[in-house]
Amino acid sequence: MKQRTVTVGGPCWVEHGSSDPKGAQRFYGELFGWRAADLDAPPEAGDYTFMKLDGRIAAAVAPLYGEGQPTAWTVSFAVDDADASAARITGAGGSVVIGPTEALGLGRFVIAADPSGAVFGLWQGHALAGLEVLNDPGALGWVELLTRDPDGARSFYPAVFGWTVRPSEVYPQWGLADADFGGMLTMDDRFPPQVPPHWLPYFAVADVDVTAFRAGNLGADVLLPPTSMPDGPRVAVLRDPQGAAFAVHLAGAEG
């Protein structure tokens, strides 16, 4: 990810929706060194918790809010006008699931889905711009769209966010003014039909092999063992003990 601070149009937040928030806090705390931070928020915030890395917000853990909501990571992108961005989403063929909604005076959010069903968020920051650390070991460093409709995605996301697309037959990359922050992987026969399109967060780590090994010892499944990508970083894809998929990549080697 070329952005080291929150940039309008770029990734700005990552949230683990969990059936067991305390369990998620323990797992990721052990894996990445995150520590739960007291929100000092009113009761309506529930169990929503910021996770901090060396005192800076690196992620959030939240309870599940609706029946049928899966345990999963949600990636959000920064916008300067949540309402206008929500209108662009529906105008481009996507759907708005929640919002626009005020969030404790910190900002305004939207939960949306692209035309293929991949869920993502929007965040219009007020008191909180977004994550306070990016790219450092233990922090968000890359985001990846897994989709069965790559042509539709190439049309939808630039229309909503103004992203650039670095062309590739294998792995197109998303960017802002050609500063790339993510990529797109076409879901083929390797993916079971019940796996929906989704956004996958990648967290930077100092050692992919050690992190994957430690994650396994903590109860995670290794979906893709540590692998060096052609012309890319070393990565691994994992599934935490609650079933949420995430990935890790070598810090400093992102696209």
User: What is the pLDDT, as a whole number, of residue 237?
Assistant: 98
Lowest mean pLDDT among 11-20, 35-44, 150-159, 164-173: 35-44
| C-alpha to C-alpha distance for 123 and 210, rounded to whole angstroms | 33
Whether the CB-CB separation of 114 and 154 falls below 8 Å is answered with: no
The third-level CATH classification (topology) of the domain covering 140-250 is 2,3-Dihydroxybiphenyl 1,2-Dioxygenase; domain 1 (3.10.180)
pLDDT of residue 232: 83
Please classify residue 194 by burial: count the beta carbons closer than 10 Å to its beta carbon, then call 0-12 exposed, 13-18 middle and 19+ buried: exposed
Dihedral-angle region of residue 55 (phi above 0 means left; psi in -120 to 50 means alpha; beta otherwise): left
Residue 35 sits at φ, ψ, to 5 deg, of: -130, 135
Alpha-helical (H) ranges within 105-227 are 150-161, 208-217
Whether pLDDT at 2 is above 90: no
Which of 171, 174, 77, 56 has its CA nearest to residue 121?
77
Q: Where are the alpha helices (DSSP H) in the chain?
A: 21-32, 82-91, 150-161, 208-217
8 Å CB contact between 60 and 51: yes
Please give the pLDDT value at position 136.
Answer: 96
pLDDT for the residue 40 = 58
The pLDDT score that the predictor gives to residue 62 is 93
Does the pLDDT of residue 32 top 60, yes or no? yes
Helix (H) or strand (E) holding 75: strand 72-78
Q: Which two tokens stand for residue 89?
A: 């989403």
Taking 80 as the threshold, does the pLDDT of residue 86 lie above it? yes
Nearest to 56 by CA among 124, 136, 141: 136
Lowest mean pLDDT among 43-47, 81-85, 147-151, 174-178: 43-47
pLDDT given at position 247: 98
| CA 228/CA 83 separation, integer angstroms | 41
**Number of neighbouring beta carbons within 10 Å of residue 92:** 16
Is the CA virtual torsion 214, 216, 221, 225 positive or negative? positive
Residue appearing with tokens 């996770």: 51
Average pLDDT, the chain: 93
Task: Name the residue with tokens 């993916």.
Answer: 191
State whether CATH 3.10.180.10 applies to domain 11-125.
yes
- Dmax of the chain from CA atoms? 49
Q: Is the pLDDT of residue 255 over 60?
A: no
Question: Whole-angstrom Cα distance, residue 165 to residue 154?
Answer: 7
Comparing 11-125 with 140-250, is the CATH topology the same? Answer: yes
For the chain, the domains span 11-125, 140-250
Name 250's bridge partners: 205
Average confidence (pLDDT) over 136-142 = 97
List, for residues 99-113, the tens digit of each pLDDT value. 899 988 899 999 999
Assign 28 to helix, strand or coil: helix
Tens of pLDDT along 149-185?
A: 999 999 999 999 999 999 998 899 999 987 999 999 9
Asked if residue 30 has pLDDT above 90, the reply is: yes
Dig out the tokens for 102 from the structure: 């005020």
Give per-residue pLDDT as tens, 193-222.
999 999 999 999 999 999 999 999 999 999
